[in-house]
Amino acid sequence: MKDDDPEKRIRELESGFGGPMPPTGGPFYDAGFTSPPRRTGLRWPVLAFFVLAILVPIATAVVWGITSVRNTTANLNRGGATSDVPITLEHGATFSLGGNGANDTIACNDGNLTLNANNSTVNVTGHCVSLQLRGFDTHVNVDNADRIEVSGYGNAVTENACNDGKLSFAGYGNTFTTRGHCASLTLSAYGNRVQADSIDGIAITNYGSRVAVTGRCGSLTVSLYDNQVQCDSVDTVEFAGYSYNNTVTYHTGSPKVTKSGRNNNVNQR
């Protein structure tokens, strides 16, 4: 039987809408959902970039400075200029001087010096580990060098003290004068002139050279032709290969002589 009580119907409708309204305004999240962490990944690459930008130039400068101290190499071409200011090498440095018509003073300071000068005058003070002369028509005065190598031509070199130094001439027409004792002399080019106090070993492998030693010569080997050697005394003389027209003159002693070739003479004066 249908219920037609209107008041009861009104009460039922009112009770159905009397509950609280559902919340509104925000999205629905499941209970197991967690918010993602904040992204900070870009911060470290940026910081690393700025750190490297600061440190790399500093490290490069330090390494360059250490390398420069260990191996100091410099080159100077005067281009014909004359300087009143002496050039001073750093201790143990390697230095090369070039130019035409220059007049320079160089403090060697246990360095390695190369002269490519032409028609110049160079005064080298102090001690050199090595001195190389590659130019021509240059006058060089040097206090002392452990090793002197001349590959240029027409140069005049004066050494104040040989001090067991080693001398080598691969250029022609050079004049060399030294005082004191030298360990060795090698003449592999022609037409050189050498004066010394004493030399342990002399080797001449070209022609037309003149060697004058006021003291002991030690051992002497001569090849090719037209070489003349004068010594106060000489231990051994060897004329090697196809040598000819060479003359050795000594004052005291009895040298041991080995001859080959022809017309080679050993004379006591």
Mean pLDDT rounded to a whole number for the chain: 82
At residue 156, the pLDDT reads 99
Tokens of 202: 């002399």
Residue with more model confidence, 69 or 80: 80
Strand partners, 158: 141, 177
The C-alpha atoms of residue 6 and residue 55 are separated, in whole angstroms, by 91
The winner for highest mean pLDDT among 18-22, 96-100, 128-132 is 128-132
What is the tens place of the pLDDT at every residue in 108-160? 999 999 999 999 999 999 999 999 999 999 999 999 999 999 999 999 999 99
The C-alpha atoms of residue 142 and residue 158 are separated, in whole angstroms, by 6
The C-alpha atoms of residue 51 and residue 60 are separated, in whole angstroms, by 14
What is the tens place of the pLDDT at every residue in 47-60? 555 555 565 444 44
165: nearest Cα among 197, 117, 190, 137: 197
Q: Where are the domains of the chain?
A: 91-268
At residue 85, the pLDDT reads 82
Q: Please work out, in degrees rounded to the nearest 5, the angle formed at the alpha carbon of residue 257 by the alpha carbons of 255 and 263.
A: 125
